Amino acid sequence: MHTLGISTRARVPAAAFSKKNCLPRPAHFLSQAILIAACTFSPIVQASPHGAATHLARAQVSASSTQQQPAAIDDIQRYIAHAWTDLTRSMNQCQSLEDAKTAEPPVLYLPAELSGAATPPAVTDLQTRCHIQLERLPRTITGPGQIDPAALPRNGLLYLENPYVVPGGQFNEMYGWDSYFIIRGLLSGSPSGSPPAPANLALAQGMVENFFFEIEHYGGVLNANRTYYLTRSQPPFLTSMILAVYSARQSSAAPAPPLARDSGDLQWLAKAYAYAVRDYRQWTAPPHLAGDTGLARYFDRGAGPVPEIMDDPSHYYRGVAQYFLMHGAAGAPYLVDPEMVDRDMVHGGTSNPAAVVGPLFPVQVCEPASPQLSSGEPAANANCAPPQNVALAPEFYRGDRSLRESGFDVTFRFGPFGANTHHFAPVCLNSLLYKTEKDLERISIILGKPNDARRWRLAAAERQARINKYLWDARRGLFFDYDFTTGARSNYEYATTFYPLWAGLASPQQAAAVARHLALFEQNGGLAMSRHESQAQWDYPYGWAPVHLLAVEGLRRYGYAADAARISSKFLNTVLRNFQADGTIREKYDVVRASEITHISAGYAQNVIGFGWTNGVFLELWRQLPPALRAGSPPNH
Q: What is the pLDDT of residues 25-39, one digit of tens each?
A: 223 333 333 332 222
Q: Is 587 a catalytic residue?
A: yes
Mean pLDDT score across all residues of the chain: 84
**Is residue 604 over pLDDT 90?**
no
CA-based Rg of the chain, rounded to a whole angstrom?
A: 25
State residue 344's pLDDT score. Answer: 54
What CA–CA distance (Å, rounded) separates 71 from 69? 6
Count other Cβ atoms within 10 Å, centred on residue 125: 12
Strands 335-336 and 388-392: antiparallel
Q: Which 8-state DSSP code applies to residue 391?
A: E
Q: What is the pLDDT of residue 405?
A: 98
Phi, psi of 241 (to 5 degrees): -65, -45
User: How would you classify the pairing of strands 526-527 and 522-523?
Assistant: antiparallel
3-class secondary-structure state, position 54:
coil
Rounded to whole angstroms, what are the CA distances from 299 to 20, 70, 219, 240, 290?
43, 46, 15, 22, 10
Query: Percent of the chain at pLDDT above 90?
Result: 68
Question: Residue 538: CA atoms inside 13 Å, Cβ hemisphere, count?
Answer: 24
pLDDT tens track for 203-246 = 999 999 999 999 999 999 999 999 999 999 999 999 999 999 99
Residue 4 has pLDDT above 70, yes or no: no
DSSP 117: G
Q: What is each CA distance from 440 to 221, 421, 450, in whole angstroms?
A: 17, 27, 11
pLDDT value at residue 72 = 87
Q: Is a pLDDT exceeding 90 seen at residue 62? A: no
Predicted pLDDT at 264: 81
Q: Which position among 409, 563, 590, 596 bears the catalytic label?
A: 409
pLDDT over 70 (residue 419): yes
Catalytic option among 308, 483, 587, 620: 587
The 8-class DSSP code of residue 233 comes to -
- DSSP single-letter state for residue 370: -
pTM recorded for the entire structure = 0.86
**Bridging pattern class, strands 157-158 and 107-110:** parallel
Type of residue at 178:
D
| pLDDT for position 189 | 80
Q: Report which residue type is found at 339.
A: E
pLDDT band at 593 (very low <50, low <70, confident <90, very high): very high
Instruction: Answer yes or no: are the C-beta atoms of 572 and 36 closer than 8 Å.
Output: no
How many angstroms separate the CA atoms of 71 and 66, rounded?
15
Of 135-139, 211-215, 285-289, 627-631, the least confident: 627-631
The per-residue pLDDT for 352 is 53
List the one residue out of 411, 421, 366 whose CA is nearest residue 388.
Answer: 366
Pick 336 or 399 by higher pLDDT.
399
Give me the pLDDT at residue 60, please.
33
Please indicate whether residue 47 or residue 628 has the higher confidence score (pLDDT): 628
Considering only residues 16 and 527, tell me which one the structure prediction assigns the higher pLDDT.
Answer: 527
**What is the pLDDT confidence band of residue 118, given thresholds at 50, 70 and 90?**
confident
The answer, yes or no, to whether residue 348 has pLDDT greater than 70, is no
- C-alpha 447/C-alpha 132 separation (Å) is 44
The gap between the terminal CA atoms of the chain, to the nearest Å, is 56
Residue 58 carries which side chain, given as an amino acid letter?
Answer: R
Closest CA to 36 of 63, 58, 69: 63
Cα 27 to Cα 155, 280, 431: the distances in Å are: 46, 48, 40
Kindly indicate the confidence band of residue 381, based on its pLDDT and cuts at 50, 70 and 90: low
Q: Where are the alpha helices (DSSP H) in 540-611?
A: 545-557, 561-582
Report how far Cα 577 is from the mean position of its chain's Cα atoms: 24
* Residues 6 or more apart whose Cβ sits within 8 Å of residue 611: 167, 168, 169, 545, 585, 586, 587
Reduced to 3 states, what is the DSSP secondary structure of residue 253?
Answer: coil
| Distance from C-alpha of 22 to C-alpha of 482, rounded to nearest angstrom | 39
Q: What is the mean pLDDT of residues 314-334?
A: 90
Contact indicator for 316, 309 with CB cutoff of 8 Å: yes
pLDDT band at 501 (very low <50, low <70, confident <90, very high): very high
Q: Report helix, strand and coil shares of the chain as percent, to nearest 5.
A: 40, 10, 45
What's residue 56's pLDDT?
31
